[in-house]
A = this chain, B = another copy of it.
Amino acid sequence: MRLATLNDGSLDGRLILVSQDGRHATPAPASTLIGALQNWTQAEPALRECAAALEAGKAATFDFDPLRCAAPLPRSPQWLDGSAFLNHGRLMETAFGTPPIPEFDTVPVMYQGASDDFLGPHADVPLPSEADGIDFEGEFGAIVDEVPLGASPDEALAAVRLLVQLNDWSLRALGQREVRTGFGFLQAKPSTAFAPIAVTPDELGPAWQGGRLHLRLHIDWNGKPFGRPSAAEMNFDFGQLIAHAARTRRLRAGSIIGSGTVSNVARAAGSACIAERRMIEKIDGGEIRTGFMRFGDRVRMEARVDIDTTGPFGVLDQRVVRA
């Protein structure tokens, strides 16, 4: 199933089902995605029946327009972002000039982000200053059902209901200071943005294996290819990340757990954020050549199984503007 949320001016938007070719949509038999997730056992059969009717040409449809979409969940109970690609984490330690994180290879690191005000796939990104070091971070996330306190990684993985693609917007000049406080990112993380379509794991076939997404994230900055890293290289899988989050508290249905910035050891794939490219420039050539984003810049992200297919999550394409 492919689900999206139309922006109708309300806090939770209006849930729709999207066809597999991404061209058509139909109203879902549940008004909001959060409502469906809070009652998934009852909501899922009706949603699947409606999705089957959509594919069979038996539903009343309208053209699917990503420009009308909010984030699949415009707000959620929690947004917890891991750093599951160790290659990214090590490069960011170099960027921030901070000491190595203890147990980084064995215990996931994760920060709690704001979850009350997500951006849709084509919404402008209002930010106060270019001097804050405006950067994108291409990632994936898992939306879970209720997860009990102390769930194992296997139990946690079984609670994944939907997968999403996202841009964890970052302000690097602020992040560098905040990581040194030990209190985590706050000013450094403006609203996170999401690609329009949330998909059930079964929809992804072999692209969802071992709690990881076997997809490449195609990132273009101002129309130029920037990176094509594979998400299969995740060092912790989503089950491990979710179990980490549920170690001392239950997770409510609709909580979103992020992978952290997709990053590959092989540098030919490019990067999913500017800070990483800057560190590679410094390490390889001795100097940073790439600046951060300017107002008016755009970044486009699309996950693909291979170069020719359309991504299951649709496209995230945003412009940075002065707040």
Contacts and interface: CB of A to CB of B under 8 A. Distances in A.
Interface of A: 75, 77-78, 80, 83, 96, 98, 101-104, 107, 109-114, 116-117, 126-128, 132, 149-150, 171, 174, 177-191, 244-245, 247-250, 252, 255, 323
A115 to B, nearest CB: 8
Given A117-B249, A117-B252, A191-B249, A185 B184 contact: yes
A137 to B, nearest CB: 14
Contacts of A111: 112, 183-184, 186
A186 B250 contact: no
**Candidate in A132, A150, A182 with the most chain B CB atoms within 10 angstroms:** A182
Contacts of A127: 248
A264 to B, nearest CB: 22
Contact of A190 (B103, B187, B249): B249
Given A77-B75, A111-B112, A177-B103, A190 B248 contact: yes
Contact of A182 (B80, B184, B186): B184
Nearest to A148: B323
A82 B177 CA distance: 15
A99 to B, nearest CB: 8
A284 B96 CA distance: 36
